[in-house]
Amino acid sequence: MTTPLRFAAIGIDHRHVYGMAANMIDAGAVFAGWHTEGHPNTEEGFVERFPEVPRAADAQALLDDPGIELILLSGIPRDRAGWAARAMEAGKDVLSDKPGCTTEDQLAMLQDTVARTGRIWSIDFSERFEVPAVTRAAELVAEGAVGRVIQTLGIGPHRLNRPSRPDWFFDRAAYGGILTDIASHQIDQFLFFTGSTDATVTLARVANYANPDDPGLQDFGEIALQSPQGHGYIRVDWYTPDALPTWGDGRLTILGTEGYIELRKYVDVGQPGTDHLILVNGTRSEKIDASGAGLPFFARLIADIRDRSDTAMTQAHVFKVCALSLQAQAMAEAANA
């Protein structure tokens, strides 16, 4: 019988770590320990969810533990690349919260570290990997339900939740900019659904329209992408109104030559539940409850760690998403200079 994979977490400054750890456990892994600097406001919720998991005295103790194979990272974004490199040098594979890096230099360092160590550096693009509706959409696309995908339109609105945000949230250097951060989700989905391995950023803009007292915050961003396979448009923001019953009305429209799919991932106002999928093609026009489609990424990652394979998400894809995010961020800020 195969021994379950053991993982640990370093840095819990973003609540995404809750889902990352829970999904690894659901896939059969064992949460062996965690460490974070200080006491971020995420700690109480984290301990409530994982009360039996011990807090290590320091992060190095987790890196030195030969029984731990995978490190989850959800610390302050600017620190994640450094911890990822340390973990890989210690012989661990890594699953990072997004953004996995915040500068071009960090990305180059991670590429070098992966090449030298042969370790896996992955990112949990939760708006794909933690959304059952995206799983079902991928199945439908693979079945040819909409023909050849030629465009994605992805929006990622978020609620600001100002009282709960730490100082680093408003520091451009700490979080990397809105396109490096949030829009990485939509870039990932564009590449995946169009089957693109590269793309050109043809438009990139960032702005702060509603929070002038926080000049480091970018509360609006947009990107246009083009590849030989298709086109993409992305809009991200921090404007989710308080009346919406969830943190953001995230949507994805997948346009094919023979139909389209629209995902209303987290809410469809006036309707119960999540994971609403609309499919329209030559023979079908229907709304599908995709909430039971599953989240295969985490089990595939465990298999990749064991088999040294590349099935959950290729390393080249991870690097390309980060490169395009950073390119778009730099282009947008240059336009504002």
We report the CATH number of the domain holding residue 29 as 3.40.50.720
- What are 228's two structure tokens? 């030989």
Does the CA dihedral 52-57-62-66 come out positive or negative? negative
Give me the domain span that covers residue 110: 6-123
- What are 118's two structure tokens? 């042969």
Select from 123, 145, 170 the last residue of a domain. Answer: 123
Residue 112 neighbours by CB distance under 10 Å: 11
149 and 50 share one domain = no
118 and 230 share one domain = no
User: Angle, to 10 degrees, between the axis of helix 315-336 and the axis of helix 184-194?
Assistant: 130
Select from 102, 123, 144 the last residue of a domain. Answer: 123
157 and 70 share one domain = no
| Contact (Cβ atoms closer than 8 angstroms) between residue 328 and residue 218 | no
- What are 181's two structure tokens? 């951060």
Select from 107, 123, 139 the last residue of a domain. Answer: 123
CA distance 63 to 49: 23
pLDDT value of residue 307: 97
pLDDT per residue as tens digits for the range 216-227? 999 999 999 999
pLDDT per residue as tens digits for the range 183-217? 999 999 999 999 999 999 999 999 999 999 999 99
- Indicate the pTM of the whole model: 0.97
Tell me the Cα Rg of the chain.
19
pLDDT per residue as tens digits for the range 63-83? 999 999 999 999 999 999 999
